[in-house]
Amino acid sequence: MPTETTERGIILKHPSGSIAEVLFYGSTVISWKVPNASGELEERLFVSSKASLDGSKPVRGGIPIVFPCFGQPTHPDHLKLAQHGFARNQMWTFDGAVMDNQAGVCVKFVLDPRGNEALSAIYTTPFKLEYVVTLAAHQLSTDLHIKNPSASHTLEFQALLHSYIRAPADEVTVTPLKGLQYYDKTETTEEARTTPKVESRAEVDVKKYTDAVYENAPMKYTVSWPSGGVDIKAQNFKDVVIWNPQEEGRKIGDMESDGWKNYICVEPGYVRGFERLAPQKTWIYCQRSISHTRDLLASA
């Protein structure tokens, strides 16, 4: 069977050789390895060597799930929540393999607050999350299904996949973001942080401290560097965040030394404003990450 259950999560193995691992904690993808043209497995995600993988705190790396709020809570329903909400620090339930064949290996995880008193103490709005992870030869799909089980209450939320893509931070670029409105969270005053700018660069880099929230983005991004890249296709995630702390990373307790030199966060999300999900409805947010390496690109 191309899935293996371990104490901490599920390992997905594709016949092509690619491998992924998803923790039960936060339903956090912590590894996505793809064979390069030489057949060697290349890790496509970054996880800090100082990250906690034991459920004691959100993982510093991989693909943490952000829900129901992005950043510090501002919505009245979220005021008891930590930064980036609770989805990434709850134990999810493995709901089995959905598919496993040559096309891909697909597993589902569920976060249902019913019976979770600790969660209900900080968040009382009815919801249910399903997270479907599919591993193919060179593609990893991470689909977040947000359900509103209420008969009358509208669910208001933000959602984002906080993907840490392993890449040389001083060489990686993201396109196409030129012309988009964005908010620069590195600004030192609240007024400057809340004043929109317009991206003038054809290729956005993270050579300096970058924390940018792009609004109404194209939902298709090419993340590239001299030896490879990752294409990202999003669905319904209308915004995208680009983050790399550079030397500010020294202030992050679970960031390995110089870790910021080895990743770029490209985070499709719905983070400007709140999505409103009517009673009994479901929203599906998809992220398709397609891995490329130079030799693969060269042969393309």
Which positions lie near ligand TA6, rule CB under 6 A? 58, 71, 83-84, 162, 185, 211, 241, 243, 265, 267
- Helix runs in 68-167, H state only: 117-120
Give whichever of 8 and 185 is closer to ligand TA6, judged by the CB atom. 185
Q: 288 to each of 23, 72, 185, 233, how far by Cα in Å?
A: 19, 27, 26, 5
Identified catalytic residue from 14, 78, 84, 162: 162
**CA atoms of 243 and 211, how far apart (whole Å):** 4
Give whichever of 83 and 195 is closer to ligand TA6, judged by the CB atom. 83
Residue 7: CB minimum distance to ligand TA6, A: 24
Q: 109 to each of 60, 94, 129, 203, 274, how far by Cα in Å?
A: 20, 5, 8, 36, 24
β-bridge partners, 104: 101
Residue 30: CB minimum distance to ligand TA6, A: 14
Identified catalytic residue from 138, 267, 275, 292: 267
Give whichever of 71 and 126 is closer to ligand TA6, judged by the CB atom. 71
**CA atoms of 30 and 19, how far apart (whole Å):** 11
User: Which residue type occupies 294?
Assistant: R
Tokens representing 155 are 């669910």
Residue 13: CB minimum distance to ligand TA6, A: 29
Residues 6+ apart with CB under 8 A from 53: 8, 23, 25, 30, 47, 59
Residue 208: CB minimum distance to ligand TA6, A: 15
Residue 132: CB minimum distance to ligand TA6, A: 23
Q: Please check whether residue 71 is in contact with residue 241, taking contact to mean a CB–CB distance below 8 angstroms.
A: no
Cis peptide before 68 (omega within 30 of 0): yes
Give whichever of 70 and 127 is closer to ligand TA6, judged by the CB atom. 70
Give whichever of 12 and 271 is closer to ligand TA6, judged by the CB atom. 271
- Residue in the shown chain whose Cβ atom is closest to ligand TA6: 243
Residues 6+ apart with CB under 8 A from 244: 169, 206, 209, 210, 260, 263, 264, 265
Q: State yes or no: is 156 an active-site residue.
A: no
Give whichever of 232 and 265 is closer to ligand TA6, judged by the CB atom. 265
Q: State yes or no: is 162 an active-site residue.
A: yes
Q: Please check whether residue 295 is in contact with residue 37, taking contact to mean a CB–CB distance below 8 angstroms.
A: yes
Residue 213: CB minimum distance to ligand TA6, A: 8
Residues acting as catalytic residues: 162, 267
